Structure 1
């Protein structure tokens, strides 16, 4: 809080953080532009203190094996040969919005109506296929990423001149390959999630060189104070979850981001707006326990025990939803073995549909629940993150009166007033992008 009583926006931290990142990249960006392009998101994670950068690379790019790379290179060579005989004339688009399937269907329908053809993967002779992702991840660039993922110090490897030179050449080669693929396949528009990862950044760089717009629809509600995975915006346009969030990112993000961040409302509001169930079940979001230190586990167990005991004592069913990064359900089960709770993986839609209230620290799931009309309690975590429309409660201070008040909609008055996703405006926006594409 400032001296005048106004609240400090957590995103203000991103201004100082960007200066630190620019200082780290100052020399490298000139000498190794493609290497920096590919790894900037991971470097930002590392500089922000994230301890699991290597694990992220392993999860996203575990496909480093020689056999797999040889298959990709073989398909690429087949494509280059067959492309000489089978030219494409019709403009195409790629839409990959698996986390918002209803919006994906709408986008596909109206782009088809506009006369464009959907591209998923290229069919080659002998029943072989080649996807855009495979083109971006072929060759030595991702073999070198295997070296990054197993290296003890991620940042120290970036100071290795020989490695950076090799990786820069390999990424540049992949960018040129993707650029050639996009041009030959007549792709005029890409609408995707997660353009900020290594492969996505390569695709975005190639698309920019071709004059092809890339629209990234954020798969989560941006919470990181340093705006990691958002700033700098690598896609042509970043579609975030709310107008308020877009305004904040434009205010504190890089100047180059201000014209690239837009919102058309909550992108998942078309998925489920189901009536609340009659039975009393609380969905409690569990933080990744396996990443916590012993001391952090003790504190977290003490805080969550109060919350779980309160619901159980009042006769409620408690369903635990683990964080996607939590790999070991047994760890969570042992952690909460003192409580009669439900612990099994299910789709988010089912979890929300079966719950009358959702409780947890700052998470995109809380926003999804709120925007679908489900009462929400945000628990204060170790970071000062306040999601819009929500009142933050300390776990130990949470009382049953607070729960009853929220259930009666006294503190949840915004849930029914959240605007639907403006699909018609989104449609017009995409059509304008396609018409401005340099391929037309």
Structure 2
């Protein structure tokens, strides 16, 4: 008689009661987690190189975050800020104004999810400029709501069958240095993409029609594409010259992930608005828009908000996260972790030439897998095999890229050297055995 495990029982219930449209990288169930290690309900250990898709930069169940949440729950869980205010909403808004780039006067709205932050940033920009057009970028990802799906490039699985999408959304070119034409130098390529961006506002949409340009300072779902500094600066300059609000989508790149508290700091650019979420509250649902006061204050009372927006419990977690980032020097730690990951991938690349490109900013690291390093043709199936093996053998690993041929690394920034080495060993096995 076959013995059914608890995992098998839950998988059967999951298939019966939970919509299949929610994908699962690992077919196991977490029981507890700490730092960069997750224990499943069977007692198996998993090294986490995913961090909830970049959500747990301070690690699972950081004691300071747990303490802050517990203390808040003892007092008030959620009365609704628009019904009666609570102190830590204002405290967190103040902190976010302090830690985000720029010395100008700022204001904050707190919300629930990354997509909701992007939607509200667009609303704020439209209200301020009295224009309606929204420009995002090829390969960009901004969420799963109707508006943010329209701003997102990847059709499958995010957009197929869910249209029509919100109107007046346009996608501009974004540089991808690894895939540049062989005959161009890097300088020539970047200059050409900048010229194409400016031509885009002649051939596709006029600056007089555009409220905002929304850019990931480093494209996440698109494959961890790092743009040249000159490109980002030219975009910001163009927006400034044309009364277009420049929005940095820092939902995945923020809170120390790239070696600075915010990725946009690498480019010496101060955006008009910044959207944040994911690692802001260490796993609690919270997001926000931080922006120039003159832009943020144009909307009238009641025009922005939400029932659960800025929950005091999530705010307490976020305040703890900001302290942890500073006390434990996690942005600095991100660079150390990222270098270790890069070194490991380079060692693998010497043995496995299908690793065509390695790119990173801090601890936001990716390797692009190709069929041939000369043609650079994407190899999605090799990536799927590697990720599946890892997710079945103790390493939580994510993929990315428009063509699905990128493996991305997003470990918690508190990951120990021992946890990293355990993860690397499984990754090596995945290459060897998949």
TM-score (norm 2): 0.29
The structure that is strand-richer by fraction is 2
Choose between structure 1 and 2 for higher RCO, CA contacts under 8 A separated by at least 6 residues: 2
Quick check: which one's helix share is greater? 1
